Amino acid sequence: MAETASVTNPTSEAISRRGFLKLAWGALAAFLGGTAASTLRFLFPNVVYEPSQKFNAGPVAEYPMGISLKWMREQRVWIVRKENGLFAMWGRCTHLGCTPNWFEGEKRFRCPCHGSNFNPEGDVIAGPAPKPLWHCKIEMAANGDLIVDKAILENRPGFRENAPYFVEYKA
Ligand code: FES
């Protein structure tokens, strides 16, 4: 009986081993490259660049006594002039954030969403709003322009009537 010998080709085995090693090194290199790339990505975080909350509201002398709606549409801010100075108030209801409207005849702000009412200082006089309207930081530049910063807010009586939330001015 003739014996059948199983003969393997040593050359083809060597090639397949070499191919396997290449594949393994390639996979390792791809893994390390991906890890390095994602680590580097952390050095450049996603940042949302928002426009500045500061704006120039123009010459102080241009504001008449009372509530000015001049910047309401563009900046959502009322400029309020009193006998002794001015302040800026953010037009955002402290209930759920709607924009109140000023009613000159009633001398009050009314929120159209759930009926909160605020007096000209921003204090709640009716409705569900839990806090007074926010006063913005305001200052007068050397040339007489009012600079309003909506990023710095105050609504506590006793604080909001003073700098930097109030600019003293008498014409
Ligand atoms: S958002 Fe103004 S009363 Fe609700």
Query: Is the model more confident about 77 or about 13?
Result: 77
Same domain flag for 68 and 38: no
Average pLDDT for 100-119: 98
Cβ 80 vs Cβ 66: under 8 Å: yes
Under 8 Å CB-to-CB from 21, ≥6 apart: which residues?
none
- Whether 5 maps to a domain, the answer reads no
Residue 6 has pLDDT above 90, yes or no: no
Work out how many domains the chain is built from and give that number: 2
Q: Using CA positions, which residue lies closest to atom 1 of ligand 1?
A: 96
Atom of ligand 1 minimally distant from the CA of 112:
2
Q: Output the pLDDT for position 10.
A: 55
Could you tell me the maximum CA-CA distance found in the chain, to the nearest angstrom?
125
The SS3 of residue 52 is coil
Output the CA 10–ligand 1 centroid distance in Å.
83
Which domain CATH number covers 60? 2.102.10.10
Q: Whose CA is nearest to atom 3 of ligand 1?
A: 114
pTM of the model: 0.73
Cβ < 6 A, ligand 1 pocket: 93, 95-98, 111, 113-116, 127-129
